[in-house]
Amino acid sequence: MAWENPKQNWGDPGQTVPGTDDFKRIEGNEQYLKDSKMDISGGEFTGITKAHSNTSYTTKQIRNIILSPDNANVSLMADGDIWMKYK
């Protein structure tokens, strides 16, 4: 099932009571989210993913890793990023 953009005009005149098509869209979107989420036991990200920048350095979490042939450039990094230089 494909994602359908949510209705955003609920407060407009004549748009205050959901109809059959509204419920079908909502239920379809809910199913889409259930089908496309990553399982808690693991999975694979299919797009580019960026971790949230934060200063909880001792907490296990996803980190952004920058691979570069250059020395670390702090101006290109955010809190928690890891820079790895390769040759």
Which pTM was predicted? 0.52
Query: ∠ CA 40-43-68 to the nearest 5 degrees?
Result: 120
Q: Which domain holds residue 21?
A: 1-37
* Residues recorded for the chain: 87
Tally of CB atoms within 10 A around 77: 14
Are 81 and 64 contacting, i.e. CB atoms less than 8 angstroms apart?
Answer: yes
Q: Of 10-14, 22-26, 38-42, which gets the smallest average pLDDT?
A: 38-42
Q: Is residue 43 in some structural domain?
A: no
* 26: in domain: yes
Mean pLDDT computed over 8-37: 91
Q: Please indicate, yes or no, if residue 55 is contained in any of the structural domains.
A: yes
If one counts the domains in the chain, the total is 2
